[in-house]
């Protein structure tokens, strides 16, 4: 088993309200009045209040080569990852005492919005006093699903190493994939939804001494995880890599896939667990966008309550890709006491892929 002890985030400094983003898009995406009239309502319908970026608004007005975008990624990734790690290991709401980086046995780092070799986790080990024998597992290319997948991989590693601890770090700068001259609808929708952010989650195995650091009366324990890939669906979500960098692939079929592909995965998972959907407490879902949340709502009893933290994070930060579900998890852990209850954590991503984790909230 794996116990989730703490979570932390790093929020970029440039805050852009959705009204500002809408006005910017009107300026830099010249389209006919008819086209704009059809597309602009997406900003108001998104239920996003603001987003945060690692670059200022004026950056979006110019064209940028891939090397320039990636240089910003490398420059900003380590400070934000370090901040998220420190915020997690020193979270006074969730931990009774600080966890030292030297007490971490495994680092799982996920990102898909930039390229760095050595990977960002190795660079973080040079900034913070992690042990030199810390196991590293960098993950690239999983996009929005990587937050949930990172937790699943940590769960599996801790089952094999029950006296150890693991740190999952997800970091994405979606703003760096903004393409001024890409007039496809998927790129337009990306300008409506995506933001930047980083998050970190601390997990401990069944026999780890770090379990004594929990402050809350209840914490989530991962009891099961499941991955599923829909074959022949590579064109649903991802990047198209061109000279100027990443161009977003974002199919309009994603909400329908929630109601078909994900629904079957979810039902099969609940059957294995022998639990009913109406017995679940909060549903910790990656909020890909309002249409994705609405698709979940069709399938879940009391969805308005169970998805309230996913809606909250979408409203405050937009879709940050992989860290987003960890932001949702952090909010639930800090604001709720759910001893004896069960939650499901889930995310969807490129492939087309689905990840599900069952969380039992336990005391002590």
- Residues ≥6 apart with Cβ < 8 Å to 232: none
CA 173 to CA 235: how far, in whole Å?
A: 22
**Regarding beta strands 219-229 and 245-250, do their DSSP bridges make them parallel or antiparallel, or are they unpaired?**
unpaired
CA neighbor of 199 nearest in space, from 157, 230, 170:
170
Catalytic residue among 88, 106, 124, 144: 144
CA neighbor of 245 nearest in space, from 62, 55, 66, 115:
66
CA 80 to CA 251: how far, in whole Å?
A: 30
Confirm if 187 and 248 have CB atoms less than 8 A apart: yes
Confirm if 326 and 201 have CB atoms less than 8 A apart: yes
Confirm if 197 and 9 have CB atoms less than 8 A apart: yes
Q: Which two tokens stand for residue 79?
A: 């400070």
Looking up tokens 């919005």, which residue turns up?
Answer: 113
DSSP assignment string, 316-334: HH-B-STTHHHHHHHHHHH
CA 258 to CA 295: how far, in whole Å?
A: 6
- Residues ≥6 apart with Cβ < 8 Å to 205: 1, 2, 3, 158, 159, 161, 162, 163, 164, 165
SS3 content of the chain, % helix, strand, coil (to 5): 45, 25, 30
CA neighbor of 11 nearest in space, from 73, 54, 75:
54
DSSP assignment string, 332-363: HHHH---TT-EEEEEEEETTTEEEEEEEEEE-
170 is catalytic: no
Confirm if 309 and 291 have CB atoms less than 8 A apart: no
| SS3 category, 314 | helix
Indicate which residues carry an active-site annotation: 144
């Amino acid at each position: 088993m794996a116990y989730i002890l703490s979570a932390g985030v790093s929020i970029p400094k440039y805050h852009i309200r959705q009204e500002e983003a809408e006005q910017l898009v009107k300026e830099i995406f010249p389209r006919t009045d008819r086209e704009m009239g059809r597309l602009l309502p997406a900003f108001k319908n998104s239920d996003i209040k603001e987003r945060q970026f690692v670059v200022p608004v004026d950056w979006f007005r110019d064209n940028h080569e891939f090397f320039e975008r990636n240089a910003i990624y490398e420059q900003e990734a380590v400070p934000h990852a370090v901040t998220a790690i420190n915020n997690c290991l020193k979270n006074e709401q969730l931990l009774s005492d600080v966890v030292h980086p030297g007490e971490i046995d495994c680092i799982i780092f996920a990102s898909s919005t930039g390229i760095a070799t050595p990977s960002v986790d190795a660079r973080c080990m040079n900034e913070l006093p992690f042990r030199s024998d810390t196991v590293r597992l960098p993950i690239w290319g999983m996009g929005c699903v990587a937050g949930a997948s990172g937790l699943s991989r940590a769960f599996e590693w801790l089952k094999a190493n029950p006296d150890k601890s693991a740190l999952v770090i997800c970091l994405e700068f979606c703003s760096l994939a903004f393409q001024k001259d890409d007039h496809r609808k998927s790129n337009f929708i990306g300008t409506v939804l995506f933001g930047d952010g980083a998050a970190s989650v601390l997990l401990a195995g069944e026999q780890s001494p770090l379990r004594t650091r929990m402050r809350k009366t209840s914490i989530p324990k991962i009891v099961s995880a499941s991955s599923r890939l829909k074959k022949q669906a590579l064109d649903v979500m991802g990047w198209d890599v061109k000279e100027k960098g990443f161009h977003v692939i974002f199919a309009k079929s994603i909400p329908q896939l929630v109601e078909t592909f994900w629904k079957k995965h979810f039902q099969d998972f609940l059957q294995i667990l022998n639990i009913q959907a109406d017995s679940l407490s909060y549903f910790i879902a990656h909020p890909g966008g309002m249409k994705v949340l609405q698709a979940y709502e069709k399938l879940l009893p009391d969805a308005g309550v169970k998805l309230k933290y996913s809606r909250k994070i979408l409203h405050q930060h937009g879709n940050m890709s992989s860290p987003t579900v960890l932001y949702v998890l952090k909010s639930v852990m800090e604001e709720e006491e759910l001893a004896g209850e069960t939650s499901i954590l889930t995310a969807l991503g490129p492939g087309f892929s689905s990840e599900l984790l069952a969380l039992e909230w336990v005391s002590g």
